[in-house]
Structure 1
Amino acid sequence: MNWSGWSIDRVLILFVSLAYLVIGIQVTMFHYRQNFTHKAMWIPVISSPIFLIAGLILTWYNAPWVHTMFMAFMWFGALAGLIGFYFHFRGVGIRVGGWAMRNFLIGPPVALPLMFSALSVLGLIAIYWKVR
């Protein structure tokens, strides 16, 4: 495969897609461990493979409708990660002892939803990137 002809946005979209595979596995394991006690836990579990497939399609097939679909997915992912951050932060706070350091260590991972959002933002940067 000749990578010298690939633009930076194409490489970033491929990276974001593959990163959603990894983060999707991690999110699924964490939420499965908690028995999906809240319906919102399904959002990153279902959306991660969709983001992966959409990004892989866009990497090799740059049709305008795929481009628009991927952009909409990335906006949704950025928002979903922020909502997840709220739920995780609140989840730490309702544990015995509130927002004590030990609850941040053993409670819901507060940084993981922010990583979900950050990946979406990186995908949006790749979509909106304009080389002048």
Structure 2
Amino acid sequence: MSRAAERNLLVLASAAASGLALASLLAANGATVHRTRPRRGVAPRRDRHPRAEAVTAARELNRAAGTLAASVFADSSVEHYRGSFKNKAMYTPLIVSALTLATSIHGTGDMRPLAHKARDAIYLLAAATGLVGTGFHLYNVGKKVGGFCWQNLFYGAPIGAPMAILLSGLLGFCSERVRESDRRRPKIFGLPAGRTVAAVAGAGLLGTTGEAGLLHLRGAYHNPFMTVPVTLPPVGAALLMSAAGGRYGRMHRLTRWWMRLLTVMGVAGVGFHAYGVSRNMGGWRNWSQNILNGPPLPAPPSFTGLALAGLSALGLMREDPDA
């Protein structure tokens, strides 16, 4: 690849990371949907049409899926370029995540209470890509000398990375099930939609924490702030799991504020990673090399996407405690 093409690709990846941070922040602001908050001891209002609530929640989930897809697109662009696209299959996550991002933008702007077949197909493709990609990354690590040792886990293909596009597809697919629901209590395969999405987002937070913990362990936690993405998200996951299995109550208010905290943490993480890039030899003057060496700028907003999904799930349960 020519030097001009190299520079263009890295400029694109850097711009994507910056745009992702801004988009995530705007998404966080837009996630506070004007729903009626039930007063203590008072049942939620029923004056709004239930389909309107379902569409609102579905659009929030589209936004969460899009944030994850944007993170995957920018991150895989840089990481797979660093691997020189040795395997042509390495172009797949770029194409699929770009399609998923476009699909989520379409879904976010769609006010109709109907599932879209094309969106469903792309979201399922994204989920399948995440599963297959995880298998490729496991194979990549396992075939190295020493197999699944710390050295290979640190420097081989990141095992947890493809799960982000799987989660994006899964959340997007759930959004279509919520959107098409004609009940006051939306269902996903017969399960309460709010609790199902809360469980998925909680599990996703735990998996993303594991990936961040592994890479920050590689960095020896030399900056105390590196402990933040391995301490705050597990608490958020526990709160979401509790919400998924419990009753509507005071803990939901704490969970909602914790999701907002994680949303901000994901955006702030881009700034911390940008600072980490600046500390490499040559700083931003040597950006064409240092962006490849990390830390990865687009990775932290994965937490933002999952937190937005958690907020959507809590919104569904606020409208109906049994949702």
Q: TM (normalized to structure 1)?
A: 0.88
Shift of 1:81: 0.8
User: Is 1:87 aligned with 2:117?
Assistant: no
Correspondence for 1:78: 127
Correspondence for 1:113: 162
Correspondence for 2:34: 4
Match of 1:99 among 148, 151, 154: 148
**Following the alignment from structure 1 to structure 2, what is the Cα–Cα distance between the partners of residues 119 and 78?**
7
Asked if 1 retains the 8 angstrom alpha-carbon contact of 2:134 and 2:162, the reply is yes
Asked if 2 retains the 8 angstrom alpha-carbon contact of 1:57 and 1:66, the reply is no
Asked if 1 retains the 8 angstrom alpha-carbon contact of 2:68 and 2:165, the reply is no
Q: Deviations over 1:15-62 (max 9, x none)?
A: 211221122100111111001111111111112122111211121135
**Following the alignment from structure 1 to structure 2, what is the Cα–Cα distance between the partners of residues 80 and 19?**
14
Greater relative contact order structure (CA < 8 Å, 6+ sep): 1
Gaps of 5+ in 2: 1-29, 36-52, 186-323
Asked if 2 retains the 8 angstrom alpha-carbon contact of 1:23 and 1:116, the reply is yes
Query: Taking every aligned residue pair, what percent have the same amino acid on both sides?
Result: 27
Gaps of 5+ in 1: none
Correspondence for 2:63: 14
SS at match of 1:86: helix
Shift of 1:69: 1.0
Asked if 2 retains the 8 angstrom alpha-carbon contact of 1:24 and 1:44, the reply is yes
Letter in 1 for 2:154: L
Letter in 1 for 2:84: N
Superposition pairs of residues 116-127 of structure 1, within 5 angstroms: 116-127=165-176
**Following the alignment from structure 2 to structure 1, what is the Cα–Cα distance between the partners of residues 114 and 144?**
45
Greater fraction of residues in helix = 1
The 1:122/1:66 distance shift into structure 2, 3 A limit, reads closer
User: Is 1:49 aligned with 2:111?
Assistant: no
Asked if 2 retains the 8 angstrom alpha-carbon contact of 1:54 and 1:66, the reply is no
Asked if 1 retains the 8 angstrom alpha-carbon contact of 2:65 and 2:167, the reply is no
Asked if 1 retains the 8 angstrom alpha-carbon contact of 2:59 and 2:108, the reply is yes
**Following the alignment from structure 2 to structure 1, what is the Cα–Cα distance between the partners of residues 128 and 105?**
21
**Following the alignment from structure 2 to structure 1, what is the Cα–Cα distance between the partners of residues 162 and 68?**
14
**Cα RMSD between the aligned structures?**
2.2
Q: Larger radius of gyration, structure 1 or 2?
A: 2
Shift of 1:14: 1.4
Q: TM (normalized to structure 2)?
A: 0.38
Shift of 1:64: 8.5
Asked if 1 retains the 8 angstrom alpha-carbon contact of 2:120 and 2:176, the reply is yes
The 1:66/1:37 distance shift into structure 2, 3 A limit, reads farther
